[in-house]
Amino acid sequence: MPKVAKIRVYGEIAPFDPQKSDNLAISLHNVKSQLADFGKYDSVDVHIMSPGGDVDEGYAIRDYFKSLGVTVNTYTDGLCASIATIIQQSACNGGKRFMSDKTESFIHNPWGENTGDAKQMEAYASLLRETEERILNTYVEGSGGKADKDKLRAMMADQTSITPQQALELGLIDEIIPVKIFAKIGTPQENPNTIIEQMKVEGNKILAGIKALLNPVKAMKVTDANGVEYYVDAAEVGKVMYADEAMTTPVAEGTYEVEGNSITVDANGVIVTIEPVMSIDDLKAQLADAQAKIKAFETGEEIAPAVEEVLNQAEETIKAKDAEIKALKAGKTTTGTIVNRVTNVGKKVGDQTVDKKAEAEARKASYKEVKNPIFNK
Residue-wise pLDDT for 253-286, tens only, equals 988 887 667 888 999 989 998 877 666 666 666 6
Identity (one letter) of the amino acid at 261?
N
Bridge partners of residue 43, in order along the sequence:
4, 71
Instruction: Please state, in angstroms and rounded to a whole number, the distance separating the CA atoms of residues 215 and 207.
Output: 12
Closest C-alpha among 142, 206, 193 to residue 172? 142
Quick: pLDDT tens for 150-182.
999 999 999 999 999 999 999 999 999 986 543
Answer whether 367's CB lies under 8 Å from 132's CB. Answer: no
Q: How far is CA 100 from CA 76, 86, 361, in A?
A: 6, 17, 34
Res 57 pLDDT > 80:
yes
User: 3.40.50.11540, 3.40.50.2300, 3.90.226.10, 3.40.50.300: which CATH number matches 4-178+354-365?
Assistant: 3.90.226.10
Q: How confident is the model at residue 202 (pLDDT cuts 50, 70, 90)?
A: low
Q: Which residues contact 86 (CB under 8 A, 6 or more apart)?
A: 58, 59, 62, 135, 138
The 8-class DSSP code of residue 236 comes to S
pLDDT of amino acid 154: 95
pLDDT score, position 335:
34
Which segment of 72-86, 182-196, 232-246 scores lowest on mean pLDDT? Answer: 182-196
The fraction of the chain above a pLDDT of 70, given in percent, is 58
pTM of the model: 0.52
Please state, in angstroms and rounded to a whole number, the distance separating the CA atoms of residues 360 and 357. 5
| 51 in Cβ contact with 161 (< 8 Å) | no
Domain extent listing, the chain:
4-178+354-365, 192-207+280-342, 216-276
